[in-house]
Structure 1
Amino acid sequence: MKFNKIPEETKEHIVAFTISGILIVLFYVLLNNLNTVSGVIGMIISAVSPFLIGLLFTFIMLPLRRLVENRLLKDSRLDAKAKRTISVLAAMITFILGITVFFVILIPQLADSIKVFMDSIGGYIRTIQGLISNLNDYNPEVADYLEKLVSTAGTTLSDWLAGAQGGMSRILNYGLGVARSVMNCFIGLIIAMYLLYDDERFKRQVKMVLFGYLNEKQASDILHLLRLIKETFNRFIFGKFIDSLIIGIICYVGCAVLRIPYAPLIAVVVGLTNMIPVFGPFIGAVPSIFILLIISPLKALEFGIFILVLQQLDGNLIGPYILGDAVGLPTLWVMFAIIVGGALFGVIGMFIGVPVFSVIFELTKERVGNNLSARKIDVDTK
């Protein structure tokens, strides 16, 4: 039987089954080669990291540029070129000053907290061993197991610290990594400056390439995808950054008022981990409570109550006000995106997995909705 004599409906089924089979095979291969795939993707991301950093800086500074250009300089007699130049410089200066203030004020306090904590590790380990010795009277087997676990952890931590302090190769690699990161950020800042100054030309060039090589429908679909990615990442990243910054500041002030040790260190941990949806607050709070529990159980209890109140405040007031429905994902799919993203790319994957999956979810919802409308199917009546 010739293929052109097969009914159209049968052809569609054959094509659908073929594509489904290919996707299943690809998914199976992906699952069995996660390390290889993530390694390749990691290499690609590392190669284009200056451009990604530049895009991130642009996302952060673009609202500042628009604020200066469209609000503060709106009634100015300056021409459009001068307004754009001033607004770009104002956005970049504000951004650089913010980063500088962060490093000048916070980093020294953070370094002092880390140093004090490192100097006190031996005492903390002895405190834990004393608690285990008291436990020995009630359950010797559990006490013996915990004793070995703490001893091993203490030895490993001491060896790591010794290596970090004395290993020239480790110090050299760390220095090269820092230098590479600084260079990437510098290049990213230059890229961001060009994008901020002439983002309209960049958008126009992208459209010219798309419509020049693709048909109108394909080009329009890609532009729709790019707009969706931009809007989703812009809402999520910028909103989550502001939200986490506020939470970090409130956490630092609260810890300082409660006289909780290592306030800068704990505030940074809580603020950074708050960038991760759903699991972030727990990831930041649990190790902090554990450290405080060793120093003072009362302080650990105070911090636990404080962080619980803070997270309720964030979840019910600060977060919804700043973010709204930033990604438009049900909680189940948010958790799925975090788990898969974390498995593939670690902590960064846990963060970017949510907006990436949100884009996929939105595109799928649009396609399914269009197909159902075209076939005049109402799922609620089935």
Structure 2
Amino acid sequence: MNLFKKYKSKLVIVLSIIFLSVLILAYLLNDSIKGIINILVISFMLSYSVSPIRDSIESRFKIKKSIASLLIIFIILGACVTCTIVIIPALIKEVSNIGIIFDNIGSFLEKLSVKLKISSFPAINVIYNEVLERGNTIFLNLSKSLVNNFLLIAENLISCAVIPIIVYYFLCDGEKIYNNILLLLPTEKRALTKKILKDIDNVLGRYIVSQLVLSAIIGGLTFILLIVFKVKFPIWISILNAIFNIIPYFGPIFGGIPAIIVALLDSPIKAIWITIGIFLIQQIEGNILSPKITGDSTDMHPIVIIILLLIGDKFGGFLGMIIAVPIGVIIKVLYDDINYYLF
């Protein structure tokens, strides 16, 4: 028994490594297991993101965690149903008109090439043709991606229906699951592990919530701007800008480009006004909203964040850029806590 206690920590580490290795291998080789793990990961991320809202509801209205969790689930389901009834039909209608906008872009570029007499300059003509070819490729890939995503959602509708149930149990019993996992560690390591995980939770939770709030505000402001100037596809562009805004520094730039391009197809004057509007929104976000909402949640130098974003883009594309900073936050907290508690 004493021998078991002596080597318990090493045994747990070895078994954990073996378990994770088998899990990763199964994820890569088996589609069924991959689907299950994806559902669990999505459910965990959703529950983690909304847990501060649950805590706020629980403390403000003095209700049980289970009831607060149930209210959160109903809110999420209500938002999904509202999106399905109100937003989705509008999105589908806008999708059907995307081809028109690409035709307009082609016509605009063709008129521009005639005015500038691009055909007289071989080098510029090659670049122009390359741009057109790349544009057509992007359009085809976008169309295929949209169709594939709709089909994927339809195929996995039952699996998606399970997510709210799993999210509910994560919200209700997440602390119990967390404590049971800690029991696998040696007694003397649990207190330190709890402190480190609590620090990670505080910093990461603050960062995620602040980014989601900022993105929602930016999406709303962009939608108002596009409606005021009667720019086409306001819902799509607003959602796109909100999603891009999750990425620090680069996101607002990427998110503003589609709005300017679509406005330019209507008139250059409208494009100028949209450019000014997007610039003002970014200034409001960067100088007013972000300091108040986000504060110094990451406590990382801007150069470090930019490097993380570049690494994320290299290895995971857009999704890599979204998760790069949270991963960087976790690593930084681990580094700071290990230095503080152990050295």
TM-score range, shorter chain: 0.7 to 0.9
The aligned counterpart of 1:261 is 232
The equivalent position to 2:46 in structure 1, one of 37, 57, 65, is 57
Post-superposition offset of 1:215: 5.1
Please say if residues 49 and 184 of structure 1, whose CA atoms lie closer than 8 Å, have aligned partners that are also in contact.
no
Trace 1:118-129 onto structure 2 (pairs within 5 A): 118-129=99-110
TM-score by length of 1: 0.73
Task: Give the distance between the partners of 2:112 and 2:144, measured in 1 at CA.
Answer: 29
The residue aligned with 1:229 is 200
Q: What percent of counterpart residues are identical?
A: 23
* Mapped pair 1:113 → 2:94: yes
Contact map agreement 1:132 1:143 (CA 8 A) in 2: no
Instruction: State the partner residue of 2:310.
Output: 339
Structure 2 Cα separation of the partners of residues 344 and 305 of structure 1: 34
The CA deviation at 1:40 is: 5.8
1:195 aligns with 2:174: no
Q: How far apart are residue 227 of structure 1 and its match?
A: 2.3
Q: Which residue of 322, 331, 335 corresponds with 1:351?
A: 322
Cα distance between partner residues in 2 of 1:244 and 1:175: 24
**CA-to-aligned-CA distance 1:241-290 (integer Å, 9 cap, x gap):** 11101110111011111222222222111111001111100111123323
Instruction: Structure 2 unaligned segments of length 5 or more: list them.
Output: 1-24
- Please report how far the alpha carbon of residue 303 of structure 1 lies from its aligned counterpart in structure 2 after TM superposition: 0.9
Closer, same or farther in 2 for the Cα pair 1:312/1:120, shift >3 Å? closer
CA contact (8 A) 1:233 1:355 kept: yes
User: Where does residue 16 of structure 2 map in the other structure?
Assistant: none
- 1:137: how far off? 6.9
**Equivalent residue in structure 1 for 2:73, among 71, 81, 92:** 92
Over aligned residues, Cα RMSD in angstroms?
3.2
- Once residues 313 and 307 of structure 1 are traced to their aligned partners in structure 2, the CA distance between those partners, rounded to angstroms, is 10
Q: Which amino acid aligns with 2:99?
A: M
Give the TM-score, by structure 2 length: 0.80
C-alpha displacement at 1:307, in angstroms? 0.5
1:185 corresponds in structure 2 to: 160
Q: Equivalent residue for 2:216?
A: 245
Q: Which residue of 291, 295, 307 corresponds with 1:324?
A: 295
Superposed CA deviations along residues 136-193 of structure 1, whole A, max 9, x for unmatched, are 17952355224422542465467658x849xxxx96x555522465445333322211
Aligned residue for 1:312, secondary structure, equals helix
Q: What runs of 5+ residues in structure 1 fail to find an aligned partner?
A: 1-36, 75-82, 375-382
**CA distance, structure 2, for counterparts of residue 164 and residue 152 of structure 1:** 17
Say if 2:126 is the partner of 1:145. yes
Counterpart code for 2:266: I
1:129: Cα distance to partner?
0.8
| Aligned length, in residue pairs | 317
Residue from 188, 194, 208 that aligns with 1:216: 188
The separation in 2 between residues aligned to 1:305 and 1:220, in whole angstroms, is 53
Larger Rg: 1
Deviation string, structure 1 residues 322-344 (Cα, Å, up to 9, x no partner): 21212111111111111111211
Amino acid at match of 1:352: I
Given that 1:274 and 1:280 are in contact with CA atoms closer than 8 Å, whether structure 2 keeps it comes out as: yes
> What SS class does the counterpart of residue 184 from structure 2 fall into?
helix
Q: Which amino acid in structure 2 is aligned with residue 205 of structure 1? A: N
Which one of the candidate residues 274, 286, 309 is aligned to 2:257? 286
The aligned runs of 1:69-88 (5 Å cut-off) are 69-73=58-62, 83-88=64-69
Q: Do the aligned residues in 1 keep the contact of 2:223 with 2:238 (CA within 8 Å)?
A: yes
Contact 2:231–2:262 under 8 Å retained in 1: no
Distance between the aligned counterparts of 1:233 and 1:96, measured in 2?
A: 25
**1:133–1:143: 8 Å Cα contact kept in structure 2?**
no
